[in-house]
Copies of this chain bind each other. A is one copy, B any other.
Amino acid sequence: MRHHHQYLMIPGPTPVPQTVALAGAAPMINHRGPEFGELLKEATRGLQEILKTRNTVLTFPAAGTGAMEAAAVNLTTPGERVLVGVAGEFGARFAEILRVGGADVAIVKSEPGYPVSPEAIRDALRKDRSITTVVITHNETSTGVTMDLAGIRAVIDREDVLLVVDAVSSAGAIDIETDGWGIDVLVTASQKALMCPPGLAFVTVSPKAWDRVEKTRARSVYFSFANARKFLEKPTPQTPYTPAVSLLFSLREAVRQILAEGLDAVFARHALLARATRAGMRALGLELLAADEWASNTVTAVKLPAGVDGHKLLEMLRDRYGVILAGGMGELAGKIFRIGHVGAVNWSDIVVTLSALQMALAGLGVKAAHGAAVAAAERVFSEQGWPL
């Protein structure tokens, strides 16, 4: 039987619950009518609750990268000095987008598996007083490392500097106090912790960021924040261009489910899934890329054991066991594999992934006792109590 249930354990797109998928199959509606207005209003309010913000939340039909670009073109003027913290591929991508948009980009880079520290950001800011914008990846998907956002905010001591956060692979899974931590612009997307199909990108914009937007000559029509806000604030909320209506149907359902579970419960679940995954990897004798201190709760990067071909391992996991993991990106290609545990992921998905890894690694000649990885996860789940 070829995978009734495929285990999509990559760091996004993540599994879409059947209820969320079916919500997206509702009959199409007029995107300029009152029903759509209600839909957009509820989805937007839900996102504000999840992101802990009273700031405007704009929704674009786009990938997360689109939202990064939207932030770049709405917030920076050519020549603008921007500091980007780069802990891996996604930090580098944001820097490249800013550079292409004309910004004068300064980079603070960490070693693979390490976060960009608040201290490094502080030092860079001290060295260069012309920096107007700090851009940081909250959760670096390519290495499984989470940055200390509150700490980074604390070292930004100039009132006029904006903090822009890529939270694509963390928002909704790892706690973010958007307002509490003074995040001016946060970008995220539908296909990770929000349990939806890909296609929607979201941007939160603080009052301070709106000031910047007003001073910045818009360089995009499609991604214009001002335009998007104008339509969102109509009596019947709308979007300037045709919205991805069916994805918004799904989003509304997903947001309801997340709020029904409770944000704290959702965050605790992700933390527990990560702990169990890491315990399982160690029980298989595998080495983790990131230290526990900054390891991500949504994605775990694991070093490939000596002599194991990463392609073969992922292929066996996929073809034999229906478990889909991700490889390494950029300079980590062929050196690590990555397990996503974000969104609609259950204790059982971890158990299945660990069991499949045990069997696949054994099939490739790596010595690891049957049941060892699952035993470690069971211990974590039993001791901590799988959260209900």
Measured in the bound complex, the distance between the Cα atoms of B261 and A3 in whole Å is: 11
**A363-380: which residues lie under 8 A (CB-CB) from chain B?**
363, 369-379
B-contacting 9-mer, from A51-59, A118-126, A237-245, A319-327? A319-327
Q: A2-B388, A18-B18, A352-B351 are in contact. Are A371 and B378 (CB under 8 A)?
A: yes
Judge whether B352 and A348 touch: CB under 8 Å: yes
| Residues on the B chain within 8 Å of A306, using CB | none
Say yes or no for A15: interface residue by CB 8 A criterion: yes
Measured in the bound complex, the distance between the Cα atoms of B358 and A108 in whole Å is: 48
| Residues on the B chain within 8 Å of A362, using CB | 382
CB distance from A248 to the nearest CB of B (A): 21
Judge whether B2 and A261 touch: CB under 8 Å: yes
**Which one of B320, B347, B372, B378 lies within 8 Å of A358 (CB-CB)?**
B378
Judge whether A4 and B346 touch: CB under 8 Å: yes
**Which one of B1, B18, B374, B386 lies within 8 Å of A374 (CB-CB)?**
B374
**Which one of B17, B320, B347, B370 lies within 8 Å of A388 (CB-CB)?**
B320
| Residues on the B chain within 8 Å of A7, using CB | 348
Judge whether B348 and A370 touch: CB under 8 Å: no
**Which one of B344, B356, B369 lies within 8 Å of A1 (CB-CB)?**
B344
**Which one of B1, B348, B388 lies within 8 Å of A5 (CB-CB)?**
B348
Say yes or no for A381: interface residue by CB 8 A criterion: yes
Say yes or no for A269: interface residue by CB 8 A criterion: yes
Measured in the bound complex, the distance between the Cα atoms of B320 and A7 in whole Å is: 21
**Which one of B1, B17, B371, B377 lies within 8 Å of A4 (CB-CB)?**
B17
Judge whether A375 and B369 touch: CB under 8 Å: yes
